[in-house]
Amino acid sequence: MTSSIPVVGTGPAGAGTLQAVFLDLDGTLVDTEGFWWEAEAEVFAGLGHILDDTHREVVVGGPMTRSAGYLIQATGVDITLTELSVLLNAAFLARIARGVPLMPGAGRLLAELAAHDVPTALVSASHRAVVDQMLHSLGPEHFALTLAGDDLPRTKPHPDPYLTAAERLGAAPEWCAVIEDTVTGVTAGEAAGCRVVAVPSVTRIPPGPGRTVVTSLEEVDLPFLRTLITESRGGVHRACSAESAEN
């Protein structure tokens, strides 16, 4: 699976409408956040440390380097970040090798976007090996490109993954929709200037400017996303026009 080559025949629509949709992976499209926690608990048990649930909210949704670094510091375990990342990825890959459950509404949404030729990117903080494994459950044909956490120097909460996805699809970030399940991902999407739909999975995500919070992907479809884009960007254009008229 390549991470940067768009699907032949797709391309963003013109300005004034939805140009692309960017989707997170863990907890957004696939129900695997519990898998990660199980993998972390298993690895640390093997290292002689029992993880309690107070750590779970800290590590959920974050990139591997941040989560692993935090757990090393919190437990004082004698292991390097690289060594721990290898163990965590191996434990997680073993769990998803048998397939992963999709979140409610995920399959229908991906099929709808594909049917209407909406350029769609999978943007994850997980490692490339994990992303490629889970694509077997999602269907790689649904994505014009995929970006993993180790494909770029900086991943979420930095805006780089979403800015890169927009650039490679030839889309303007402000005309793109991001769908995320964690504060880390929402922060990245908003920093990139995209319109963000938050679908909280484990931790609460409060409403905010330019952010729409829903309870499930079953509430999200193509008309919904198009309306979010046209209304949010239309409001910006109306405000700019009013300001110009006053000057």
Reported as a single tens digit per residue, the pLDDT across 201-214 is 878 899 888 899 99
Instruction: Count CA atoms within 13 Å of residue 115 on its CB side.
Output: 8
Q: What predicted TM-score, i.e. pTM, was given to this entire model?
A: 0.80
At 33, is the pLDDT very low, low, confident or very high (cuts 50, 70, 90)?
confident
The mean pLDDT value of the chain amounts to 87
At 13, is the pLDDT very low, low, confident or very high (cuts 50, 70, 90)?
low
At 233, is the pLDDT very low, low, confident or very high (cuts 50, 70, 90)?
low
CA angle 181–101–9, rounded 5-degree value: 75
At 6, is the pLDDT very low, low, confident or very high (cuts 50, 70, 90)?
very low
The reported pLDDT for the residue numbered 234 is 61
The reported pLDDT for the residue numbered 212 is 96
At 15, is the pLDDT very low, low, confident or very high (cuts 50, 70, 90)?
low
195-198, strands of its sheet edge to edge: 145-147, 120-123, 20-23, 176-180, 195-198, 211-213
pLDDT (average), residues 233-237: 52
Residue 243 has pLDDT above 50, yes or no: no
C-alpha 157/C-alpha 154 separation (Å) is 9
Per-residue model confidence as pLDDT tens digits over 139-151: 999 999 999 999 9
Residue 244 has pLDDT above 70, yes or no: no
The DSSP output letter for 217 is G
